[in-house]
Structure 1
Amino acid sequence: MAKIFLTVVGTGDYSPTEYRLGDTVYKKERYVQKALLSMLKDKGEHFNRIVFFLTARAREKNWEQFTAARPNIDGEKETDEGLKPFLEKNFSGIYEALDICEGKNEHELLELFNSMFDAIGENDEITFDITHGFRFIPFLFFPVMSYAKELKNISIKNIYYGLFEKEKVSDIIDLKRYDEILDCASSAHNFRCSGNSSEICNVINRRVKTLPDDEKSILGRYNSIAKCLDDLSKALLTCQGGMQKFSISKKAENLMKNKQRLENLNEKEHRIFNNLISHAITSVSELSTSELPYELGMKAVEWYISKGLIMQAYTGLRECITTFFCCTYAPNHECDDAKFRQLAVDRAITSSISRDEKAPDKASCLRIAAKLLKDDSLTEAQKKEFASVFVKIITHIDFEKMRFIQRVIEFRNHMNHFGMRKNSNNVNIDHVEKHFSQTKELFKDIYERRNEIISDEEALSKLMPDNNFSGGFINFSNHPSSKWSEKQLEAAYSLCSSSTVTDVQFLDVPADLTEEEIQKIAEHYAEKITAMSPDVVMCMGEFGVSHKVTEFFKENEITVVYSCSERIVSEHITENGTEKSSVFNFVRFRKY
């Protein structure tokens, strides 16, 4: 890091005056740069480079020597030592004079900007004197420095300006506070665009470090409130939903409590920080007013969309959908119960959507729900509760209005897996805005029809045996189970819970059927068997239909098997010669 002193030389007739910096008064001097550099040197301030920006006229007027523009009372033009001799004597080897244009048109304005920017190095610490700045150059300093802060990571130590007084001591003041105001504006802009409030904390922290100890406590209060804002910002950016102490809702609640302290901090000295924090808090204030978890989630998603945070928006939206279903179909159950969300609610949601154009049938969804009643990882009470909620969801929702959720899941997974999946989709802000709107419409539809939700008892009744849910072992072949051996029947019973085998005849499939016709036959049998809620299906028949049906069962987590037999060949000698006969003895079932 280099310490750089930057200054601009103008074309004025600078009159001598006594300049004062802090408690130090310098002898009468025409150029503020001479007085300022001398006093800073006496205070132990060291610079690696001292840069003077000069136009051609400024170089002629004030560099080698000073020449007054107008004659004095004696009719002579007054002359004096210019800046260069002073610098050669006191700062030889570290000063440089850079020629600049006057900025008379847009082209020259950009050239002037670039000249000042190019004079600054990476990570430089800048001290700037703008007292004798030519025309608008002092104004140009601020955009140059803001630009260099971002692109070259510079820091501003001091911005000096000499208040010229003809008959009095002229004070040199530090305008660093104006640079702090620009930093405040930049941090507010950064928070508005990205949702990251860390720079707001940094701005206040930098100010606190410059204050004497007796003043730090006042600004420290702003710092503590900014820390609460930063905690909320981090919770939002890391998608901390739920009700934990580090969640969005808790951090928002804590921020709103601390906001009241701002009303008691009316010191004019720190009003800038009061305005900054108040403005930032206003943009997140609604996050503390939500009564239901999914309402908070939807407000957070809207906040993400406004910042262009697509990944967080999709993560929040996907979980909001599950949370809404939890609150709607199981209002008395904790919506952050991970097992309940996964097995009952999420499984009901995913079973009701499809990757293709055809919506799932409710019979296949009920079969999935029935499996919850046999899930050994659940208690008896959980089995009934999870299954009933599952059924209440799939019997109430409009499958067509659920279709978009598949895209929400795909987009969320695409981003969360860093795009490292085949057939991943490109995602942009238009997608998430559309899906956010569709989610609100879905919620509205479900809420308006909430009186149509069936009871727990009715939901469970739809999973009982008298509702065509035979369960057990389904024999989908043209070999009736009545002709099976005792060994084969026992093997079938061992694979299911109900010790029943139900035959579904695998009809002959003509060889001249098209692929489309084969697909229709497969879909017919797949839906028919699925509606029977089987534990296991034995599928053996025409290869095309068997393949499609088997794939369907596997995708829907239905165990599908085939029979394995041993062929025993025997020979018998008869009057007509030797005859061979084959007997097939069942050995086992094997999964596809």
Structure 2
Amino acid sequence: MGRRVFLSVLGVAFYETCRYRKEEFTGSETLFVQKSLLEYLQQQENWGGENDLVLMLLTDLARKNNWDKNLETRFCAKLQKEVAYQGLEKILLDMNLSYQDIAIPDGKDSEQMWEIFEVIFDELQEGDELYLDITNSFRYLPMLLVVLVNYAKLLKNVKVKAIFYGNYEARDKESNIAPIMDLLPLSVLQDWTLAASDYLRYGQVEKLFELSESSLIPILKNTETRTKDAEKLRSFVKTLKEMVEERTTCRGYAVINSEKVSDLKCTASEIQKVTIVQLRPIFEKIKLSLNDFDARENVLNCIKAAKWCCANKLYQQATTMLEEGLGTFLCCHYQLDYRKKANRGAIFGCISIKTQNKDTEEKKPNKELVEKILADDSVWGNKAFVTILQKIVELRNDYNHAGFKKNPFSAKKVIEKIEELLDGIEEVLSEI
């Protein structure tokens, strides 16, 4: 089992007593919000086991003013006298909690800012579950901590369980009770933002699927929160993942048949309300992207898929889908069943003859069909189309052999060629 870590920054100010509340929990009267937060975790999360650790970040002044376990009094400017005061370290000892005090600089310049960043990052371990308190974080530190958390999520697989803020300024003056705010949704929003970016920029749907599952499963398990919209939304994201996998693995039949696109469009039209707030704008963008594809069987879906792959930096898939899509297009043009191996062999034999001068060898199988197809000048007399065929055959051959050939293309040239081939290709096909 990994560690559970409560990470907090201790301030330097003179704190007055207050009670902090979160939902049904109300803490004991205290100078320090950290005590209330830890009481809350003791009650709600059974905090205090051998894998639970409090990490307190302290500047020199915070250590002197608010930490020292031997602290008994402190000067109160408001009363202009020394008053009883207790350091936070003594409180943690009395609570019998494991803790470490971590020295950090004041953060007065960029160099010290990065020093703080490194100190905190070095203290975190692989797989830690993090409970973050930013109540007393000074100046830019709350932003630094949020950025650091995302950094640690990636590099140390840290999981953020809570981000607490004790809002002392919003306390009820009569009861002297202040609210504890959980800012975790801000961190979750960043997760959704990165997941949406992965899909919208690179066609990667795994993060989006994982987040939707983790968000929707608790909703669907609870009879009070389960709705048809939530069920359909989960189905939508699951089908989206399957559709993306069809494209990234070049499943030609599935792409042409477009069952997943049809399912997605149907499900999207039935969803009245997207129950996950962060998914709403993403959902709308995904719906728009579906408009490029015919929801019925259409060979041009292959060309659309090649464009989608190229736009999402999946250049090898784009190359494969384009060449196979063009061959399938010709099968349909000559009213041949593109699912039959012999028909595809004849079409690609014609392509080889016209693009690589492999006349004798390619005519052997299906000779009569090949000669009949080659006699159609409306196709083979279209110079723009034949040029596209020549270029895509050359590009796919180079790509699939990993450039192990005479005069291989550079990576830049590969990208330029596939983008060039896809630009305006539908206009060329419309002339055949």
Give the Cα–Cα distance (whole angstroms) in 2 for the partners of residues 285 and 424 of structure 1.
40
- CA–CA separation in structure 2 for the residues paired with 1:338 and 1:31: 75
* Counterpart amino acid of residue 162 in structure 2: N
Matched-pair contact (CA < 8 Å) for 2:395–2:414: no
Shift in Å, 1:370: 5.8
Greater Cα offset, 307-316 or 136-145: 136-145
Q: Is the 8 A contact 1:232 1:248 kept in 2?
A: no
Residues 310 and 432 of structure 1 are in contact (CA less than 8 Å); yes or no, is this contact kept in structure 2?
A: yes
Structure 2 partner of 1:194 = 202
Question: Which residue is 1:148 aligned to?
Answer: 152
What is the root-mean-square deviation of aligned Cα atoms in Å? 3.0
Q: Does 1:350 align with 2:358?
A: no
CA shift digits 1:548-570 (9 cap, x unpaired): xxxxxxxxxxxxxxxxxxxxxxx
Give 1:343-422 correspondences, 5 Å limit.
Answer: 344-354=346-356, 360=357, 365=359, 371-372=364-365, 384-392=368-376, 396-397=380-381, 402=386, 405=389, 408-416=392-400, 419=402
The answer to whether the Cα contact below 8 Å between 1:222 and 1:274 also exists between their aligned partners in 2 is no
Is the contact made by 1:304 and 1:310 (CA closer than 8 Å) also made in structure 2?
yes
Cα gap change, 1:126 to 1:225, in 2 (>3 Å): same
Q: Structure 1 residue 18: deviation in Å?
A: 1.5
1:226 equivalenced with 2:237 (yes/no) = yes
Q: CA separation of 1:37/1:247 partners in 2, compared to 1, >3 Å: closer, same or farther?
A: farther
Aligned to 2:102: 98
Q: Say if 2:256 and 2:297, in contact at 8 Å, map to a contact too.
A: no
Select the structure that is richer in helix.
Answer: 2
**Equivalent residue, structure 1, for 2:304:** 299
Name the aligned partner's letter for residue 411 of structure 2: N
Give 1:299 deviation, angstroms. Answer: 1.9
SS of 1:167's partner is coil
Distance 1:400 1:255, change over 3 A: closer
Does residue 14 (structure 1) correspond to residue 15 (structure 2)? The answer is yes
Cα deviation digits, residues 350-372 of structure 1 (max 9, x gap): 11123xxxxx4xxx84x567645
Structure 1 residues 429 and 226, CA gap change in structure 2 (3 angstroms): farther
Q: Taking every aligned residue pair, what percent have the same amino acid on both sides?
A: 23
Give the distance between the partners of 1:122 and 1:274, measured in 2 at CA. 33
| Alignment correspondent of 1:339 | 342
User: Which residue in the other structure is 1:174 paired with?
Assistant: 182
Corresponding letter in the other structure for 1:256: K
C-alpha contact 1:317 1:436 (8 A) present in aligned 2:
no
CA apart distance, 1:184: 0.7
**Residue in 1 aligned with 2:28?**
27
Of 289, 298, 322, 1:283 maps to 289
Report the residue type matching 2:372 in the other structure: S
Cα deviation, residue 3, structure 1: 1.3
* Residue 411 of structure 1, CA deviation: 4.1
The CA distance in 2 between the partners of 1:154 and 1:227, in whole Å, is: 26
Map 1:536-551 to 2 at 5 A.
Answer: none
Q: 2:280 is matched with which residue?
A: 274
1:429 to partner: Cα distance: 5.0
Q: Is the 8 A contact 1:5 1:49 kept in 2?
A: yes
Distance apart, 1:121 and its partner CA:
0.9
Q: Which residue is equivalent to 2:416?
A: 433
Q: Which amino acid aligns with 1:190?
A: D
- Return the TM-score normalized by structure 2: 0.85
Q: In the TM superposition, what whole-angstrom CA distance separates every residue of 1:450-478 from its partner, at most 9, and x where no partner exists?
A: 4xxxxxxxxxxxxxxxxxxxxxxxxxxxx
> Distance between the aligned counterparts of 1:122 and 1:48, measured in 2?
14
**Distance of 1:207 and 1:445 partners within structure 2:** 46
Q: Is the 8 A contact 2:104 2:116 kept in 1?
A: yes
Residues 202 and 400 (structure 1), Cα distance of their counterparts in 2 relative to 1, 3 Å cut: closer
Higher relative CO (Cα under 8 Å, sequence separation at least 6) belongs to: 2
Deviation at 1:434, TM superposition (A): 2.3
**Counterparts of 2:72 and 2:289, CA distance in 1:** 56
* Consecutive unaligned residues in structure 1, runs of 5 or more: 355-359, 376-382, 451-592
Cα contact 1:17–1:30 (8 A) shared by 2: yes
Contact 1:19 1:32 in 2 (8 A): yes
Within-5 A mapping of 1:55-94 = 55-64=59-68, 65=71, 70-73=76-79, 75-91=80-96, 94=98
Question: Displacement of 1:277 after TM fit?
Answer: 2.2
- Which residue is equivalent to 1:310? 315
Counterpart check, 1:157 vs 2:158: no
Larger-Rg structure? 1
Measured in 1, the distance between the counterparts of 2:121 and 2:268 equals: 40
Paired residues of 2:19 and 2:28 also in contact (CA < 8 A): yes
1:334 and 1:258, CA in 2 relative to 1: closer, same or farther beyond 3 A?
Answer: same
Structure 2 unaligned spans of 5+: none
Write the letter of the residue equivalent to 1:221. Answer: K
1:512-571 CA deviation, whole Å, 9 max, x = no partner?
xxxxxxxxxxxxxxxxxxxxxxxxxxxxxxxxxxxxxxxxxxxxxxxxxxxxxxxxxxxx
Q: Distance in 1 between matches of 2:67 and 2:260?
A: 59
The whole-number CA distance in structure 1 between the counterparts of 2:115 and 2:257 is 48
- Call closer, same or farther: CA 1:104–1:261 in 2, change over 3 Å: farther
Shift of 1:171: 2.7
Where 2:174 maps in the other structure, the secondary structure is: coil
**1:139 to 2:143 alignment:** yes
1:57-79 deviations in Å (ceiling 9; x for gaps): 22222111386564343x30334
Q: Is the Cα–Cα contact under 8 Å of residues 340 and 386 in structure 1 kept in the other structure? A: no
> Shift of the alpha carbon at 1:401?
6.8
CA spacing shift, 1:446–1:147, aligned 2, 3 Å: closer
What SS is found at the alignment partner of 2:100? strand
Partner of 1:550: none
Task: Work out whether residues 54 and 100 of structure 2, in 8 Å CA contact, stay in contact via their aligned partners in 1.
Answer: yes
Q: Distance in 1 between matches of 2:109 and 2:382?
A: 65
Secondary structure, in 3 states, of the residue corresponding to 1:123?
Answer: coil
Contact in 2 for aligned 1:404/1:435 (Cα 8 Å): no
Change (3 A) 1:275 1:158: same
Q: Is the 8 A contact 1:72 1:78 kept in 2?
A: no
- The letter for the 2-side match of 1:181 is L
Q: Does the CA-based 8 Å contact 2:307-2:422 persist in structure 1? A: no
Say if 1:67 and 1:77, in contact at 8 Å, map to a contact too.
Answer: yes
Question: Greater strand share, 1 or 2?
Answer: 1
The letter for the 2-side match of 1:323 is T
